[in-house]
Amino acid sequence: MAPDAGFDCLSSLLRARAGIELARNKIYLVESRLGPLARGHGFVSVSDFLKHLARTGIGEALATDLVEAMLNNETFFFRDIQPFDMLKERILPQLRTARAASRRIRIWSAAASTGQEPYSIAMLFAEDSASWAGWTIDIVGTDISRRAITRARSGLYSQFEVQRGLSIHRLMAHFEKSGEHWAVSPEIRAKVRFQTLNLLGPWTLGAPFDIILCRNVLMYFAHACKQDVLTRIHRQLSPDGKLVLGAAETVLGVSNAFVPDWQNRGLYSPTGIQPPTFARAV
C-alpha cells in the first residue's frame, strides 16, 4: 500500500476524531489494523478500501469503526511499575494526610483502555485497606474506545492478560476464575467506574481530581492537541493534585501549566504548586 488519497483521508479522520498524527511510515499499521474491516466491507485490499472511502465519503458509523480499528489499546496490569510504586509509597500517603478532613480521593485514568490501569490502582487501596477505612475512593477510567470500555466494565481477563504484570499473590487475592477467564473481584470493581470519553471533546467529569494519569496517549497527538488537552487537564486537577504521564512523554516545550518533579520521572504538579507538599482540600 503506497501513500495516496485514501491514506490522506484516513489520516485526516484520525487527526480530527482522535488527535492522532498518522505518519506515512506507519502504513504497515494501517494494513494490519484495517484488514478485517476492509474485508468485512467486501474489499480485497486496504488500499482499495481507503481509495473507495476517499471517493465516496465516510459515514458516521464507519468513521467510528475506522478510529476504533486504528487505536492502540496496548496495556497491562501495573504497567511500568514505577508509577504505581510512586503512588503507593509517596503520593497516596501524602494525600491521606492532606485529605484527612474530607476523607475522599478522586483519581482519573484518562486513557484506561481495557481497564488494567484503574483496576491496578484500586488494588493498591485494597492492599492497604486499614489505612483507607471510612474513605470514599472514586476512581474513574475513561477511553475513546467504546469496545475497550465495554471490556473494562466486564472485569474479565484472559490467562495471558492476567499474567502480564500480576503476581500470583495479586491474582489470587483480587480475581476469581470464571470459565476460561479471570474476573476482577467485586471489591475492586466497586472502586472503579468507566465511561467513554474523547480527550479532544467536552468533559463532564464533575469535581476536580487529586490524581490524573494520562499515560502513553499524548505521544500520539499533534502538538496543538497536546497543548489543548494539558490545558484542560489542568482545569480538572485539584490545585495541589498530581499529573502522571508516560515515561516517554513530557510537558516541556508543550505547556507551562505544569512543572516537573525532577525526582520522579513522569510526575507533574500544577504551575505554582511546589512538590511534595499537599495543601488541604477546600
CB 211 within 8 A of CB 87: yes
Helices (H), the chain: 5-18, 27-40, 46-56, 60-70, 82-86, 92-98, 116-126, 146-154, 159-163, 168-174, 186-189, 223-236
Q: Cα(217)–Cα(71) distance, rounded to whole angstroms?
A: 10
pTM of the model: 0.86
Residue 135 and residue 258 in one domain: yes
Confidence check: pLDDT of 3 > 50: no
Cis peptide, bond prior to residue 270, ω within 30 of zero: no
How does the average pLDDT of the chain come out, rounded? Answer: 89
Per-residue confidence band for 165, with pLDDT thresholds at 50, 70 and 90: very high
- Which residues constitute the domain of residue 10? 5-70
Residues 66 and 88 in one domain: no
Residue 280 has pLDDT above 80, yes or no: no
CATH of the domain at 216: 3.40.50.150
Q: What is the pLDDT of residue 6?
A: 82
What's the confidence (pLDDT) of residue 272? 59
The percentage of the chain sitting over the pLDDT mark of 70, rounded to a whole number, equals: 95
Last residue in a domain, options 39, 70, 101: 70
Q: Are residues 32 and 106 in the same domain?
A: no
Tens digit of each residue's pLDDT (9 = 90 or more) over 122-139: 999 999 999 999 999 999
In terms of average pLDDT, the best of 41-45, 106-110, 215-219, 232-236 is 106-110
Q: State the pLDDT at residue 204.
A: 78
